[in-house]
Chains A and B, each alone.
Chain A
Amino acid sequence: DSGVTQTPKHLITATGQRVTLRCSPRSGDLSVYWYQQSLDQGLQFLIQYYNGEERAKGNILERFSAQQFPDLHSELNLSSLELGDSALYFCASSVGGLAGNTGELFFGEGSRLTVL
């Protein structure tokens, strides 16, 4: 158990719909990262928040948005869903904002999104 909690674990929805994925980081971790893993794209970095502020942005579509709340939990909003958005969405957390040199990201078990 990494200490990172993601909900829901599974979600099935239709094209054009909007969903919200939630992530609670490990206690004390200030950074939250969102990753998307699909079969043909591998693990793609989407966005990072550090203590409520956006820190880094990756290949996140304009239809997707995220935020980190004062209690440090984060939500990833996916709208106008397309079939290609079907994927596993992982949240990770770390103590500081510079995972690149401090090492460890702790990943949740992911939210599996299926768009029909």
Chain B
Amino acid sequence: DAKTTQPNSMESNEEEPVHLPCNHSTISGTDYIHWYRQLPSQGPEYVIHGLTSNVNNRMASLAIAEDRKSSTLILHRATLRDAAVYYCILSYGGTASKLTFGTGTRLQVTL
């Protein structure tokens, strides 16, 4: 199974952009890249996902390296409500039916 590597923790100031990196050097051609986040005392929440092209939605942007061995989740203006654990996950090929979470990056946002 392809694995992901994320920093254990990151800090950001409020209203600053945040770039959360994820390495996935063993990604296969059909693996999708997913990002979820888990706020304190809540279940994980979908953030964004993509395959090859960069993706944008109302929550964040996903920048995928050309060789797909790494990706970056971009929060354009961090708020205190963005403090959470962010998980970068690969799906196992085009027929994957489950998502396996790693340890994620704990993002702290300060005033």
**Residues of chain A having any CB pair with chain B under 8 Å:** 2, 4, 31, 33, 35, 42-45, 48, 50, 55-56, 58, 90, 92, 97-101, 103-110
Contacts and interface: CB of A to CB of B under 8 A. Distances in A.
Interface of B: 30, 32, 34, 36, 38, 42-46, 49, 51, 87, 91-104
Contacts of A33: 98
A92 B7 CA distance: 26
A99 B44 contact: no
Contacts of B95: 98, 100-101
A105 B97 contact: no
Contact of B43 (A42, A55, A109): A109
Given A100-B92, A101-B94, A45 B99 contact: yes
Contacts of B87: 43
Contacts of B101: 35, 42-45
Contacts of B94: 98, 100-101
Nearest to A57: B98
Given A90-B44, A92-B43, A105 B103 contact: no
A103 B43 CA distance: 16
Contact of B91 (A2, A4, A101): A101
Contacts of B92: 100
B99 A105 contact: yes
B38 to A, nearest CB: 8
